[in-house]
Amino acid sequence: MHHDEMIGKVQALAQLPDRGSAERAVHAVVSTLSERLPSGLARHVAAQLPADMAAAMREAADASAGTDSGASGERFGLTVFAGRIADRAGTDEDTALREAAAVMEVLDAALAPELTERMAGALPADIRDLLPVGRATESAGGMGRNA
C-alpha cells in the first residue's frame, strides 16, 4: 500500500479533519508500536511500510534496542500506549486510541497476514484488541469471518 493511500484511509477511519492530522497519528502510532515490539519484528514491519513510516518505525526500534529491554520490546500496556501516542500526536488519550485503532486497521491491510499475526502475538491483549485480527481472534475463537 502506498503512503498517500494509507494516510487517506487513516484520515477517513479516524474521522480526522486533514491529512496533516492523519500523518501525525500514523507517525505517533508506528513509533509507539515500534517501542513495544521486539526490535527485529519492528524492523520486519518497517520493511513493508512506505519509506517515511518505515523510517519512524526504525528510528524508534533503534532507540528501543539501545535500552536493556530493546531486544524484546518495552513492556507496557494500553494506558502507556495511549499516553505516548497522545503526547506524540498532540491529542488526548481517547482520541489517541481512536487514531491507533484506525492506524492498526490500515497496517493490518498493508502488511502480510503472517506478519500481522506475529505482531499481534507480540502485543499484550489490551493493545492487540486494537488490531482487527485481535478483535476477530477474541470474538470468533481464533477464526476470523467476514460479515
Q: Is the dihedral of CA 18, 93, 30, 138 positive or negative?
A: negative
Average pLDDT over residues 85-101: 97
Domain boundaries defined on the chain: 3-136
Share of the chain above pLDDT 90, in %: 74
Q: Which of 97, 95, 100, 110 is nearest to 3 (CA)?
A: 110
Instruction: Indicate the CATH number for domain 3-136.
Output: 1.10.490.110
DSSP annotation string for 81-118 = HHHHHHHHHTS-HHHHHHHHHHHHHHHHHHS-HHHHHH
Average pLDDT over residues 32-50: 93
User: What is the CB neighbour count within 10 angstroms for residue 136?
Assistant: 17
Query: What pLDDT score does 128 carry?
Result: 94
pLDDT interval class at 87 (50, 70, 90): very high
Rounded to two decimals, the pTM is 0.85
Which single residue is written with the C-alpha cell 527485529? 40
Q: Does residue 50 have a pLDDT over 50?
A: yes
Q: Which of 68, 70, 69 is nearest to 60 (CA)?
A: 70
d(CA 23, CA 41): 22
**Apex CA 79: angle with CA 105 and CA 124, to 5°?**
60
Contact 28, 5 (CB under 8 A): no
Q: Does residue 137 have a pLDDT over 50?
A: no
Query: What pLDDT score does 82 carry?
Result: 98
> Which residue has better confidence, 23 or 1?
23
pLDDT, mean over the chain: 87
pLDDT interval class at 133 (50, 70, 90): low
